[in-house]
Amino acid sequence: MVDMTAGTNRAYGGVTAEDRVAARRRQLVDTAIDVMAAAEWRSVTVANLCRLAGLNKRYFYESFADLDELAEATVDFVARGAWKAVAIADAPFKDTPVRERTRVSVSALVRYFAADPRQARVLYGPVSASAAVSQHRASIVRATTQQFVTVAREVYGAIPGANQLARTASAFVSGGTGQAILQWLDEHPDEDPTQLIDDLTTLWVVTGVGSAEEAKRRHLANEM
């Protein structure tokens, strides 16, 4: 009997089968970023997405069950890239003053999206997808701003009863930051984002300080 699986992992031109699958998957994700950023996801089909990617439909199904799965993978890809950029930038600044550390993180986030505005529109823009994908994207957006809460707790300490306020502040900062980035990309696509970074840094710090002070005030009021 001939082993029909033999040779399936053979390298061609020094590229393994696994690497070829990964490259095609990345090609589909990149095409999905284009389609989502252009707000055309609602009308896309597997066939025309594969045509845009320059791939046969069978290569779509080797990586994804359907378009929703591709959409979730695309949102994940963008969010992981943004989070990695922020985490790498933040790592050397753990012991620096909160404003400087915040500015480093905000700068990394803004410059990441300025380098590829499509990705900002995928994460923050009005992407038309299924309810499941929309919920998934919302959870990813919230996760990308958890550093806001983490830094606030590191700087101001654990404040009793502050968790809910911190979650609300995180959502507030997340949504506002995303919309500010999108507005800047639309209005100043070719400008240096330094002013935007300064403005967002101020708003992050003001929100963080204000939230910590309000949490302390509420805690003291409850103890009286």
Tens of pLDDT along the chain (224 residues) come to 333 334 455 656 667 989 999 999 999 999 999 999 999 998 999 999 999 999 999 999 999 999 999 998 998 899 889 888 988 998 898 788 888 888 998 999 999 999 999 999 998 887 766 676 777 777 766 665 565 566 556 655 666 666 677 777 777 888 888 899 999 999 998 899 999 999 999 998 888 778 777 877 887 787 77
Hey, is 1 helix, strand or coil? coil
Give just the sign of the alpha carbon dihedral 72, 75, 80, 81. Answer: positive
Q: pTM for the whole thing? A: 0.82
Q: Given CA atoms 93, 94, 96, 97 in this order, what sign does their dihedral have?
A: positive
Residue with tokens 């896309």, as numbered in its chain:
44
Q: How many helices (H) and strands (E) does the chain have?
A: 10, 0
To the nearest 10°, the Cα dihedral for 47, 53, 55, 61? -60
CATH node for 68-223:
1.10.357.10
Instruction: Give yes or no for a contact between 101 and 156, defined as CB atoms under 8 angstroms apart.
Output: no
Q: How far is CA 208 from CA 141, 158, 185, in A?
A: 18, 13, 25
Residue spans of the domains in the chain: they are 68-223
Question: Is the distance from CB of 174 to CB of 145 less than 8 angstroms?
Answer: yes
Q: Are 60 and 44 in contact (CB under 8 A)?
A: no
Name the CA dihedral angle for 35, 41, 45, 51, rounded to a multiple of 10 degrees.
-10
